[in-house]
């Protein structure tokens, strides 16, 4: 069991995954992730909705449709991004690894949307790079 929370602590949640392993993580450089997080990229991991439990803060959460069919939820008090949801993938909730309390076990698998990567950030390392989505929905490895 891994717990997570927003910066102010109003929103808390838990994720129950085998061996506390969160799964496959994609570093996403799309302009929406950059703006939503204020950083070069977002460390996103889709977990099955049945493994995710919101413990507190339902009233503090605001959902924002950043693109058609994609909801980004953030804490209205402190602004932390707490999850994302996609209409075309209702079985998963996308959490941001940085909101987890403990060191999360996750397997980085790809850099996504490198076509929108800011010039001031360099990607190092061996992971596959995709100019667009790395979810297997039209991404183009480069």
Task: Give the footprint of Zn ion on this chain (CB under 5 A).
Answer: 6, 8, 10, 28, 30, 33, 75, 77-78
Q: How far is the CB of 19 from Zn ion (least distance, A)?
A: 27
Q: How far is the CB of 28 from Zn ion (least distance, A)?
A: 3
Closer to Zn ion at the Cβ: 8 or 49?
8
Pairing of strands 105-112, 128-129: parallel
Q: Tell me which long-range contacts 55-62 makes (C-beta under 8 A, separation of at least 24).
A: 55/3, 55/12, 55/13, 55/14, 56/10, 56/11, 56/12, 57/6, 57/10, 57/11, 57/12, 57/82, 60/6, 60/10, 60/11, 61/11
Closer to Zn ion at the Cβ: 8 or 97?
8
Q: How far is the CB of 39 from Zn ion (least distance, A)?
A: 11
Closer to Zn ion at the Cβ: 33 or 110?
33
């Amino acid at each position: 069991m891994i717990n997570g929370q927003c910066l102010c602590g109003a929103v808390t949640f838990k994720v129950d995954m085998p061996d506390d392993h969160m799964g496959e993580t994609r570093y996403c450089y799309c302009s929406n992730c950059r703006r939503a997080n204020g950083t070069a990229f977002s460390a996103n991991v889709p977990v099955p909705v049945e493994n995710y439990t919101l413990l507190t803060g339902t009233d503090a959460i605001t959902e924002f449709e950043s693109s058609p069919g994609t909801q980004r939820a953030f804490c209205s008090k402190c602004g932390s991004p707490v999850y994302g949801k996609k209409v075309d993938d209702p079985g998963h909730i996308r959490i941001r690894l940085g909101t987890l309390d403990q060191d999360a076990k996750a397997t980085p698998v790809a850099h996504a949307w490198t076509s929108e990567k800011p010039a001031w950030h360099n990607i190092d390392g061996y992971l596959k790079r995709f100019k667009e989505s790395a979810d297997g929905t039209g991404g183009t490895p480069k």
